[in-house]
Amino acid sequence: MADYFVGAKEYFPGISKIKYEGPKSKNPLAFKYYDAEKLIGGKTMKDHLRFGIAYWHSFCGDGGDPFGAPTHIYPWNTDAKNPMDAADKKMDAAFEFFTKIGAGYYTFHDRDMAPEGANPAESEKNLFTLTDKAKKLQKETGVKLLWGTAGLSNNPRYMNGVATNPEFGVVALAATQVKATLDATIALDGEGFTFWGGREGYMSILNTDIKREKENMARFLTMARDYGRKQGFKGMFYIEPKPMEPSKHQYDFDTDTVVGFLRHYGLDKDFRMNIEANHAELASHDFAHELETAAAAGMFGSIDANRGDSMNGWDTDQFAISYYETTLAMYTILKIGGFTTGGLNFDAKVRRNSVDPADLFIGHIGSMDAFAVGLQAAQRIIDDGVIPNFVKERYASFDSGDGAKYSKGEMTLEQLAKIGTDAGYGTTGWTSGKQEYLENVLNGYLLGL
């Protein structure tokens, strides 16, 4: 698409549509590796990576931190007559950005898009006004909605929890937001709907009934699922695991915890994981571990692409730039046949002191390039076959003979023990895991070898 802006005003003047210029380019506002139409394993990079832009960080995050005032002063706010006017202008800026950066998708919270009103009906009206505008802009630009979500962490009424709040009235107010945001997501042909439960957890066991809170949470999610399906929502529901922050103990701790919860309450057909790299790290997991765990459970859905800081214990939401991490992430995605409803949503923000409007582009460009590098390296892993074949071979003793019988469940513990007794100790088990070798092979792929 040609250079483009959607409203009365251009919000990122001097920046045109970001182009692929190749690895030798020194232009900070050009892609070095992300070449949207380039085919990797028979599919374009664009279709593999399904990039999404997070409305909240990119157009709402003000750079403020617990120690200092906002540093990101946006013209769509300073030029506005009132909050609805600001929301309208912000959406012009958002679609200008989506189009110029060349991302096919975006994601939003209800409150990112439209301000809360004086009562639930007014909040809903505000959201639907902006939804109508988004629908029009999606049609004009071809940008699509990856997922919507209700912003249920910010308002003080949620300080004791959302669906897990001990006060029924709060749960009912949360329902007004989830219902309206589902309606908006459906109207915008969203491919997913996410629940991130930052307030679904607790701070003190002394005032908390865990059993009751989890049951209430499952009930709430079931109602949301049923309402969405009744309204014709065909997309995927996602849970985004995170172990802590802002609550001390969050119920959606990590993928395995959430998989167990969803299966226990019969929600596993409609819900999948939205895995965030920085959240994995907070749960003491690698990003790749969370992705592989979700894939192994058949419940991988989407990705919130970012990175943390291994020396910090909080969610720094930085742009993912490590080729090592993007390669392992894309390897998992390729192994399971690619994204279906999901994509790579940049749940990432520029730093407090990154105050040039161009920095928002540069942050996204770097991470889009990093995933493009990761995609190509992951394809090399698959094409070369050394790593996947090593893994397959490592478990080969379960593919034939007694091992195969064991795998099929055709053996008792007595029969299994007899095989062990007959074989004796010998050197059984003395097989190298070859980790160093495999790490070296992987490094070769990262260098394009």
Q: Which uninterrupted H or E stretch holds 250?
A: strand 249-250
φ and ψ at residue 421, rounded to 5 degrees: -65, -45
Instruction: State the residues that interact with Co ion by CB under 5 A.
Output: 276, 304, 347
Catalytic, 112? Answer yes
Interaction partner, residue 88 (ligand XUL, Co ion, none; CB < 5-8 Å by kind): none
Q: Which is nearer to ligand XUL, 360 or 442 (CB)?
A: 360
Q: Of 78, 160, 177, 91, which Cα lies nearest the Cα of 132?
A: 91
Structure-block tokens of residue 434: 């070859």
Torsion of CA 363, 371, 280, 260, to 10 degrees: 130
C-beta of 121: minimal distance to ligand XUL in Å? 24
Interaction partner, residue 105 (ligand XUL, Co ion, none; CB < 5-8 Å by kind): none
Q: Which is nearer to ligand XUL, 35 or 290 (CB)?
A: 290
C-beta of 134: minimal distance to ligand XUL in Å? 18
SS3 109: strand
Q: Which is nearer to ligand XUL, 185 or 194 (CB)?
A: 194
Catalytic hit among 48, 57, 72, 109: 109
Instruction: State the residues that interact with ligand XUL by CB under 6 A.
Output: 109, 149, 194, 196, 198, 240, 242, 276, 304, 315, 347
Distance between CA atoms of residues 134 and 128, nearest Å = 9
Q: Are 123 and 176 in contact (CB under 8 A)?
A: yes
Interaction partner, residue 200 (ligand XUL, Co ion, none; CB < 5-8 Å by kind): none
Interaction partner, residue 315 (Co ion, ligand XUL, none; CB < 5-8 Å by kind): ligand XUL
Q: Which is nearer to Co ion, 96 or 110 (CB)?
A: 110
C-beta of 359: minimal distance to ligand XUL in Å? 20
φ and ψ at residue 205, rounded to 5 degrees: -70, -20
Interaction partner, residue 242 (Co ion, ligand XUL, none; CB < 5-8 Å by kind): ligand XUL
Q: Which is nearer to Co ion, 153 or 155 (CB)?
A: 153
C-beta of 369: minimal distance to Co ion in Å? 21
Q: Which is nearer to ligand XUL, 254 or 276 (CB)?
A: 276
Q: Which is nearer to ligand XUL, 348 or 442 (CB)?
A: 348
The CB-nearest residue to ligand XUL is 196
C-beta of 240: minimal distance to Co ion in Å? 5
Catalytic hit among 112, 252, 254, 304: 112
Catalytic, 264? Answer no
Which residue stretches of 351-424 are H helix? Answer: 357-384, 386-394, 401-407, 413-423
C-beta of 288: minimal distance to Co ion in Å? 17
φ and ψ at residue 307, rounded to 5 degrees: -145, 155
Structure-block tokens of residue 309: 């800081």
**Own/partner pairs for 314-317, CB < 8 Å, 24+ apart?**
314/245, 314/282, 315/242, 315/245, 315/278, 315/279, 315/282, 316/278, 317/57, 317/278, 317/347, 317/348, 317/349
Distance between CA atoms of residues 284 and 254, nearest Å = 10
Structure-block tokens of residue 103: 């991302």
| Distance from the Cα of residue 11 to its chain's centroid | 27
- Sequential DSSP letters for 368-386: HHHHHHHHHHHHHHHHH-H
Structure-block tokens of residue 10: 């251009």
C-beta of 150: minimal distance to ligand XUL in Å? 8
**What are the residue numbers of the active site?**
109, 112
